[in-house]
Amino acid sequence: MMSAEVAVVGLGYVGLPLARRACEAGMETVGHDIGADVVDGLGRGRSHIGDVTDEDVGAMLAAGFRASTDPGILTGARTVVICVPTGLTATGTPDLEPLRAAVRTVARYLEPGTLVCVESTSHPGTTEEIVRPLLEAYGLRVGEDFHLAYSPERIDPGNTGFTFRTTPKIVSGCTTLCAKYAEVFYEQLVDTVVVATGTREAEMAKLLENAYRYVNIALVDEAAVYCDRVGIDIWDVLRCAGTKPFGFSAFRPGPGVGGHCIPVDPRYLMTRAAEQGFTFRTLRAAREVLDSMPEHVAGRVRDLLHAAGRNPAGARVTLFGVTYKADVSDTRESPAYPVARALRALGARVAYHDPYVERFEVDGEPVPRHRTERDALAGSDLAVLLQEHTGYRSADWDGAGCQVLDTRGTAEGRRVTRL
């Protein structure tokens, strides 16, 4: 079989759209993933990623795309792009094991002249200090025998305004030539390539982008908690402040942050900085605020139920939208988990409604699902709007007798109370 131009390692939210784009750009593309179900599905033309349709996978297969759990598929690939998860361990610390495992695999198939590019998010220094030694273990040298680059992914699931091609891509390399190879590779896939001075600058740029969101979301969340306490309408404050045409970017409060990136990436930076004897104080403060938001939501639920003369213990509370962002099916790190936990601790009978999520389990215990909005509202004493799925914009929140706590500031109705 012919060697591929591009091999993508890790065919998830980041790797699969990259492979699709490479196929579109006419590159002979293959993929390697340790998930047999992922590989089987793709082989049958089925996508497991919201932003990639089955038709897209069909077009990829027609263009010659092949995926395998066998890393032998990497043999001879000119460019290998690593897109494996960099999440947190059970104790909340950065988990670099999947990245190390993937790099060890790539090292076994490395050939002179290959460009290896890491896209997984990690702390500054990862490419040089962790990836490079593992790749060099079999004797080939970066900059002499093969090229090593880092290019952070900026994929934004559900975003139809910016695509892989139209989102500028930062690239960097261990040497100037490594960066050049990466630049030439990505120029074939995206409209704009931005070359960073080095891999640590590119790694830090990615973490800064997400730390910026983390800190600003924490700021508006804390402002919302303060405004609630002193009787100021935070949503009107945001409407007014948002009219400033310069110097102010609007962020919106909510029940906390979720997903694979925003709550996770700052941990990589904080942990690494701490190892280096540096305390990232803004991130530490932001984390404290963000971690407290699910409890704040549960506290508002308790107060609303008490005000209506109901005991939270035994009250039927339904969570609307349990994903980490709107209009996606991904529940990773969703604040819906700690909100459900806090409500259960109050004795509430928690259920959920989410058109995108078939099954939602918290601490091993399934949360009962309402299939329709109407049933969910009719079967609840209080509904909590956690996620602003587009479909909820037309919901009749007053249609049943239940109260509604809107944590997103988008619902209208006499029974609606905002965070």
Ligand X SMILES: NC(=O)c1ccc[n+]([C@@H]2O[C@H](COP(=O)([O-])OP(=O)(O)OC[C@H]3O[C@@H](n4cnc5c(N)ncnc54)[C@H](O)[C@@H]3O)[C@@H](O)[C@H]2O)c1
- Report how far residue 382's alpha carbon sits from residue 144's, in angstroms, rounded to the nearest whole number: 64
- Give the helix/strand (H/E) hosting 23: helix 15-24
Residue of the chain from 4, 7, 8, 15 that contacts ligand X (CB under 6 A): 15
Shortest approach of ligand X to residue 332 CB, angstroms? 8
> Is residue 81 at the binding interface for ligand X, with CB under 6 A as the rule?
no
- Report how far residue 377's alpha carbon sits from residue 372's, in angstroms, rounded to the nearest whole number: 9
Residue 63's closest CA among 45, 38, 39?
Answer: 45
- Cβ distance to ligand X smaller for residue 121 or 172: 121
> Is residue 324 at the binding interface for ligand X, with CB under 6 A as the rule?
no
> Is residue 263 at the binding interface for ligand X, with CB under 6 A as the rule?
no
> Is residue 83 at the binding interface for ligand X, with CB under 6 A as the rule?
yes
Residue of the chain from 260, 287, 325, 389 that contacts ligand X (CB under 6 A): 260
> Is residue 331 at the binding interface for ligand X, with CB under 6 A as the rule?
no
- Cβ distance to ligand X smaller for residue 69 or 292: 69
- Report how far residue 172's alpha carbon sits from residue 179's, in angstroms, rounded to the nearest whole number: 5
Angle at 386 between CA 384 and CA 392, to 5 degrees: 90
- Cβ distance to ligand X smaller for residue 22 or 38: 38
Residue 218's closest CA among 280, 299, 155, 152?
Answer: 280
- Tokens found for residue 381: 């004493």
The catalytic residue positions are 261
Residue of the chain from 35, 43, 355, 379 that contacts ligand X (CB under 6 A): 35
> Is residue 12 at the binding interface for ligand X, with CB under 6 A as the rule?
yes
Q: What x/- string results for residues 51 through 70 when contact with ligand X is judged by CB under 6 A?
A: --------------------
Shortest approach of ligand X to residue 309 CB, angstroms? 44
Residue of the chain from 4, 5, 13, 109 that contacts ligand X (CB under 6 A): 13
> Is residue 107 at the binding interface for ligand X, with CB under 6 A as the rule?
no
Helices (H), 231-280: 234-241, 265-275
- Report how far residue 362's alpha carbon sits from residue 336's, in angstroms, rounded to the nearest whole number: 9
> Is residue 124 at the binding interface for ligand X, with CB under 6 A as the rule?
no
CA distances from 200 to 112, 123, 151, 170 (A): 24, 8, 11, 12
Shortest approach of ligand X to residue 357 CB, angstroms? 16
CA distances from 258 to 100, 213, 297, 376, 387 (A): 25, 12, 15, 24, 11
> Is residue 155 at the binding interface for ligand X, with CB under 6 A as the rule?
yes
Instruction: List residues near ligand X by CB under 6 A.
Output: 9-15, 32-35, 38, 83-86, 98, 101-102, 105, 119-121, 153, 155, 157, 260-261
